[in-house]
Structure 1
């Protein structure tokens, strides 16, 4: 019996994508126009990444917890996970490279070695500066997704008596690095990646799913209220740094509570979700991958106009919202005409793998 589809989790995915779009609008404004978007209020939207990581951990355990220790499920799991990430990513990445190289004369592409191209297409960890300037800036987060899938695949491929010690040893290293006991070379991208504190957010999502499936949580509303409060507090702390702790401890825990609360509500009864919010959730991956390119190019084109349309700060902020909406719409179109057909194409193959 398949797990119940949780529409609120999809809504969360759409919300996380929109937060990232707004945060990147400010980032692109700073890079291209040397000015802020909406007084930098939306910069905390980078926490959408924290939300995505927690959601990924939750979804993996919620859907695949019965596959743990069953090696015969490994092929299907890997096929589903990798076809969910790579095909659309390759389409968007290739399109972006060609557009940058042909239309926008991005000469630095010519100076990038073949090794960096291979890393980018395989989502192997690499310098984020290279990703931002040449490939897809958001792809560093996909590297963490792929790594998490591989670690979860270990739980499926091996019996618990073998997989659990490996996972515990890895998580111990992540935790000790997080609290500063394990010191790693700053210039070693791979080690910093494997033991990054961000991996803990996937684990938080897994714990959320475990708690939900193993405990009878009678009322999810308190979890949502506390989660909203902590998320708001974390957003304020993003500017003022009065807590002085990592986003894993602020946004990560807040997102975990929101996921537990929302999922527990929906497991008890069907929640009617507006179709638009559900659609945004379904299109969140396309929006996430493509939004930066569209906002970046729109601002570059308009900057070249003979008159400065960004001079008026209020008008510039209105334009920023408009650019964000256009980018979201473009992402939705990519979902409808590229991602959705790809998912349809690979779905029957996943069943027979």
Structure 2
């Protein structure tokens, strides 16, 4: 089994995580501004659309980090159980307080939500795909959980996992881009999640980790050229609202994420001060992601009437600052300490 250098989680990847989190914050905040203040600017719609792409970046990065970090752990004692405990603690400990709070809020104050979506208690408490979670952004965590559980196959058989990925990718393509997409069983939430094209983004992260671990070299100039072409293709298609196939814009941005991460790991000496704002945001990304939607909804709902672009920018800046500040506090006081405490009790 190949080994990889430990702690090669580059500072620039933390910047990517922080930037992706802020993109998602912008996406939801602009939606709230339009909903509560009835303001319309075409370029705001486009910025909101771009902001949603932060999720695609997270998925590629998750697939990369999980695969990359596992290479030094396969031969450790209790590797499988420790991996599983690590991942479950990492997801559920920060999520459950926020998820339960939102479930109780919408149960007792159903009119508080911006939409009339039906909420699944099962999904809200467990993240098992069944319906809509109370915390709207938690749908992404169901995909994270699914990938973590499936990746555990690699702890029993790396070859078996590679074959599974090949079969899984083929099944996703078949059940998304052929007449088989209309099969009835795909309406079941669990299968709809299992065969969603979003999983291709995690698989891209896995492939990238394999490329890095196996030390496959690609000319850095070629990588930059491919990145520029991918960026231009993404912006051209989204700006002109071109649709070629299901999930096409997401796949294009996933390729942007793939190439960005690949280039980042080719410059390992890139260092950023741990005290810099973006590094702090990067460290607290998960907490910011969990708490930002409720914060922005409250702030925008009670914000003075927005009628100008200056008002929009002011509201966006305030939401970004508040989300980062409260999210970092949640990360320090609860997420970081609680995870460390629970891991010390569970993981050998």
Sort the TM-score into its range (normalised by shorter chain): 0.7 to 0.9
Aligned to 2:147: 148
Task: Give CA deviations for 1:34-92 in whole Å, capped at 9, x if unaligned.
Answer: 33476324211100000000000100111003545989411000011110110110011
- Rate the CA distance shift 1:87–1:163 in 2: closer, same or farther, 3 A: same
User: Structure 1 residue 103: deviation in Å?
Assistant: 7.5
Tell me if 1:337 matches 2:337: no
Change (3 A) 1:328 1:42: farther
Q: Answer whether contact 1:177 1:197 (CA < 8 A) is retained.
A: no
Q: 1:19 matched to which residue of 2?
A: 23
TM-fit CA distance, 1:162 = 4.3
Q: 2:200 matched to which residue of 1? A: 200
**1:5-52: CA deviations, max 9, x gaps?**
322111111111011111111122233333347632421110000000
Superposed displacement of residue 160, structure 1: 4.0
Q: Does the C-alpha gap of structure 1 residues 102 and 59 become closer, same or farther in structure 2, counting only changes over 3 Å?
A: same
TM-score scaled by structure 1? 0.84
Q: Is the 8 A contact 1:237 1:243 kept in 2?
A: yes
**Structure 2 residue matching 1:272: 3-state secondary structure:** coil
Q: CA 1:68–1:180 in structure 2 vs 1: closer, same or farther (change >3 Å)? A: farther
* Inter-partner Cα distance in structure 2 for 1:332 and 1:161: 40
- Distance change (3 Å), C-alpha of 1:58 and 1:350: farther
1:4 paired to 2:8: yes
Task: String of CA shifts for 1:155-185, please: whole Å, max 9, x gaps.
Answer: 11x2345444444322221122243253233
Structure 2 unaligned regions, length at least 5: none
| Distance (whole Å) between structure 1 residues aligned to residue 31 and residue 47 of structure 2 | 10
Deviation at 1:206, TM superposition (A): 0.9
**Given that residues 56 and 202 in structure 1 are in contact (C-alpha distance below 8 angstroms), is that contact kept between their aligned partners in structure 2?**
yes
Distance verdict in 2 for CA 1:9–1:88, change over 3 Å: same
Pair 1:342–1:36, CA change in 2 (3 A): farther
Q: 1:224 to 1:284 in 2, by over 3 A?
A: farther
How many Å apart are 1:329 and its aligned residue? Answer: 1.9
Report whether the alignment pairs 1:296 with 2:294. no
Q: Is the 8 A contact 1:69 1:155 kept in 2?
A: no
Equivalent residues of 2:59, 2:205 under 8 A apart? yes
Q: Are 1:242 and 2:223 matched, yes or no? A: no
Alignment gaps of 5+ in structure 1: 303-307
- Contact 1:174-1:197 at 8 Å conserved across structures: yes
Instruction: Indicate conservation of the 8 Å contact 2:84/2:152, yes or no.
Output: yes
- Aligned pairs for 1:1-353 (under 5 A) are 2-36=6-40, 39-43=44-48, 44-67=50-73, 72-100=78-106, 106=112, 116-127=120-131, 130-131=132-133, 135-156=134-155, 158-160=156-158, 162-180=160-178, 182-183=180-181, 184-185=183-184, 187-217=187-217, 220=220, 223-224=223-224, 226-227=226-227, 229-242=229-242, 244-245=244-245, 246-266=248-268, 269-273=269-273, 275-302=276-303, 309-349=305-345, 351-352=347-348
- Asked if the contact 1:234/1:251 (under 8 Å) is kept, the reply is yes
- TM-score of the aligned structures, taking structure 2 as reference length: 0.85
Provide the aligned C-alpha RMSD in A.
3.0
Any conservation in 2 of the 1:58–1:209 contact (CA below 8 Å)? yes
Structure 1 residue 277 displacement after superposition:
1.7
